[in-house]
Structure formats: structure tokens, C-alpha cells
Structure 1
Amino acid sequence: MALHSIRRRLVDSPDSWGAKRRARRAQWLSETFPDLAQMSVIDLGGRVDTWERAPVRPKHVHVVNLEPIPGELPEWAELDYGDACALPEHIAKRRYDLVFSNSVIEHVGGHERRLRFAESIHALADAHWVQTPYRYFPIEPHWVAPGMQFLPVSLRTTVAHRWPLAHTPAKDRDDALQSVLWTELIDKTQMRHYFPQSTIRSERIFGLTKSMIAYKLPGA
């Protein structure tokens, strides 16, 4: 319990170090897209409550996720159940001002699926903002575990099963293995491959890249 409270102070609580980094990233988003409040945005893999807390909220937000759909939504929000790597036709044929994705591409399931994810992003809008943790930052961000991403799968599974700073503790070893197999951090070369026309911005801590943001402005 004491160790889990450390995670809250580092990452999860509203006044945590992680929350401050997320707030700074939200500021970067609004600075990069100064017309954000007038834009229609599709958020691939996100949540509506992220935008409820945002300092600048788009005119319309369409969230697409594989999580269960809640009942009531604010009037500015739309929510669909869907796979961002193989979008249903009624979503794929629409156009938006901006595609947004935060910490999703590392969870979609390998290179082929990341290609499909990037294709969806390029097809839905001229502009995008795609964030993902950087593979070579020394702390694995999902488990807050030093160097975990460099271990063999069996050892990563052991860490995921037993490490006390995980966001959601694994129920058993099989649950831990599933979490490990669905988490594959990527590097800058991969990010540039998926988004060749984008600017890649590095979020740094103590001079080290913690996460990457691939963004493309409207008409660029």
C-alpha cells in the first residue's frame, strides 16, 4: 500500500509529477493548434474525461475506443466502440480537423497493426497529434519500473506480476503476460517511419527523451 502511494505521488494523483507533465503537454497541444476550440477532433483510444479536464476543449470530440461505452455524454462529445487499426466504415469515411492519440500506438499489437493505425490517422484528417512513450527512456512508464522494457518476455512478465508500482496489479501471471505482450514501446526511427511527413517533438526530462509527439499542422 505504501509503495502504491508512491505511484500516486509520481504519476496518478492530480498534483503528481506525471499530472504536471500531462498538463504541460496539453498546453503544447493548444499552442500548436491555436484554433483547437473551434476544431472537430477524433481521439483514437482516448477517453471523454480527458477532454473534460482539458484547458482548451475542441468544439466537437469523437472518441473511438475498445472500452465499454458509458451511458451519458456531454453534448460536445461522441463515443464509438471501434478498433482504430480497422475502423468501421461509418467512422472511416468521415473527416475531422485533427486526429489525436495519446499513449495508444504502443498498445495496438505489433508493426503491422501500427501501420494500420497510422494509416487511419492519415486518412481521417490533414492534421494530427500522436504521443507515445519513448522506448529508451530508462523507466518503463506503465509499470514505473527501471529498464523493464529491455528484459526478455518471461522476466517482464515476472515484473508485471509482482512489481508494486503497476497501475493495475495483475490478477495472475497469465494476466501479467497479456499486459506485457500488448505493450511494445517504440523509438524515434519507428515513429518517423509511421509519420514521415510529421514533425517529431521530444518531451525531455533531465536531457533524456521521455516521450515523442508526431504532429502535423493543417495543410502542411
Structure 2
Amino acid sequence: MPDARALRNRFVDAPGSIGERLRISRWERFRRLFPAIEDMTVVDLGGTADMWLRAPLRAKHVHLINLEPHPADLPDWISAENADVTDPEVAAALGRHDLVFSNSTIEHVGGHSQRQRFAAAVRLLAPLHWIQTPYRYFPVEPHFVAPGFQFLPLAARARLVRRWPLTHSRPGSPEEGMAAVVGIELLTRTEMRYLFPGDLLLGERVLGVTKSLIAVRTEQGQDAPAASKD
């Protein structure tokens, strides 16, 4: 039997994995929705330079906002800063861009009020956006690759994450276990529609089951009524 790291890579990280195939499909969908991306300035909330450097497309310029450190040697079309975009002063200082992009970040910002501030920043920063998040009711929790993990009581999740073999970085103490799980709150369709009214709400599917949700506002559809499409 392969070790836990190899098994996780097979599902999530490695070339040819389910996760990698989904990422490629997501980029193709993104390009169809934003065909002028090469001429657009993008602010990426929670993203990394590595993701954009591996992407099969390139924006005119990408500005990364993340709490984690960024590499020092970025190409001239990528800039970055460490900041919390849910702080209204931070969002106001960023200026306007053509597009806000965010993958798997809104579920980490810390509670409903913080998600509202995140959504407000999205609307402030650009007229167009792509906001993706894992769907709460997909059977496998994506951060830990654990079936039904998101439905367990918080204390049970904190205990299990210290033993579950497919966790990316296994916590070493009860405090680290709680820290690993308490800040992740997966969203439903209802919550995404509430946070991003008027958007087209897209679904990404695996074996016919919705895995992720994407709130999209495009030039063609930015004033359209809310909709859901898988």
C-alpha cells in the first residue's frame, strides 16, 4: 500500500491527479469567461505566485494579497504584499483593478462577518470577479481529503486531524489540531448567493457531484439576476 503522502498526491497534488485535472479544467473555464485576461490587471486575494506561474494563461499584471510570505524573486508582471483584505482600510488602499480573482480563500477568513468584509472588498476592488470555494456538501472535505470530515463536531475534527494519514501537515499537539480546523468553514450555495447577489453561481462537478462553487461577475453578465449552473 502506498504511503500517505503518495496517496494524497494521487488525489490532490501530483501531475495527473484528480486535483490537477480539476485545476486545468478550472483555468479553461476561467479563460472562456474572461477571454481578455491577457489585457487585464488582476488582484488575487489569497493566491500565490506559483499558481500563476504554472497557469496556462497570463494576465497583464497580477497583484497578490496574502497573509503568508511571498517569494522575493517575482517576475515583473506579478507583485505581492502581506495584508488582510478584510480590513476596510487595506481594501481601500489597493485601488481599482479589472478583476478580482480568489481560489479557496473565503472559507478561511474567519466567520460570517469576516466573509461579508471579504465580499465587500471584492466589490470595491474591481467590477469583475471570480470567487471559488469548496462546496460544503461535497462528500469529501478537500483540505484534509477526509469523507464527511466537515460534518463532525469541532472537537472530533481537532482530534482526527492529528491522526488522519492524508492531512497535508499533521498537527503535533491538541492546540495545533484545533488551530488546523477551527478556521475552515465551508460554504453552501445559499451563503454564496447571499454574499454575492446578482452573480452567476457556477458549480464544478466530480462524478456528477458538485465539488466547488464559483461566484462570477463578467462584463456580459454583471447585471444579470442570480443564477446557479452546474
> For the Cα contact (< 8 Å) 2:92–2:124, is it kept in 1?
no
TM-score normalised by L of structure 1: 0.96
User: SS of the counterpart of 1:128?
Assistant: strand
List aligned pairs for 1:48-197, cutoff 5 A. 48-86=49-87, 88-89=89-90, 92-197=93-198
- Whole-angstrom CA distance in 2 between matches of 1:88 and 1:70: 25
Greater CA drift, 161-170 or 99-108: 161-170
Correspondence for 1:43: 44
Question: Is the contact between residue 91 and residue 121 of structure 2 (CA under 8 Å) also seen in structure 1?
Answer: no
For residue 168 of structure 1, give the secondary structure of its aligned residue in structure 2: coil
Superposition TM-score, scaled by structure 2 size: 0.92
Superposed CA RMSD: 1.4
Q: Note closer, same or farther for the CA distance 1:87–1:69 as it changes in structure 2 (3 Å cut).
A: farther
Q: CA contact under 8 A between 2:107 and 2:186: conserved in structure 1?
A: yes
What letter is aligned with 1:83?
Answer: D
Gaps of 5+ in 2: 223-230
Cα-to-partner distance string for 1:41-86 (whole Å, 9 max, x where unaligned): 0000100111111111100000000012321110101101100211
5+ residue gaps, structure 1: none
Matches within 5 A, 1:24-39: 24-39=25-40
Contact map agreement 2:47 2:65 (CA 8 A) in 1: yes
SS of the aligned residue for 2:162 comes to: helix
Q: How many residues align?
A: 220
Identity of aligned residues (%): 46
Contact 1:82-1:88 within 8 A present in 2 as well: no
Q: CA deviation at 1:171?
A: 2.3
Alpha-carbon contact 1:199-1:216 (below 8 Å) kept:
yes
Residues 1:84 and 1:93: Cα distance change in structure 2 (over 3 Å):
closer
Q: Which runs of at least 4 in structure 1 moved beyond 6 Å after TM superposition? A: none
How has the CA–CA distance of structure 1 residues 89 and 4 changed in structure 2, closer, same or farther, with 3 Å as cutoff? closer
- In the other structure, the counterpart of 2:201 is 200
Shift of the 84–119 alpha-carbon distance from structure 1 to 2, 3 Å rule, reads same
Q: Deviations over 1:20-59 (max 9, x none)?
A: 1011001111110000011000000100111111111100
1:87 and 1:78, CA in 2 relative to 1: closer, same or farther beyond 3 A? Answer: farther
Deviations 1:193-220 (A, max 9, x none): 0000210001111221100000001372
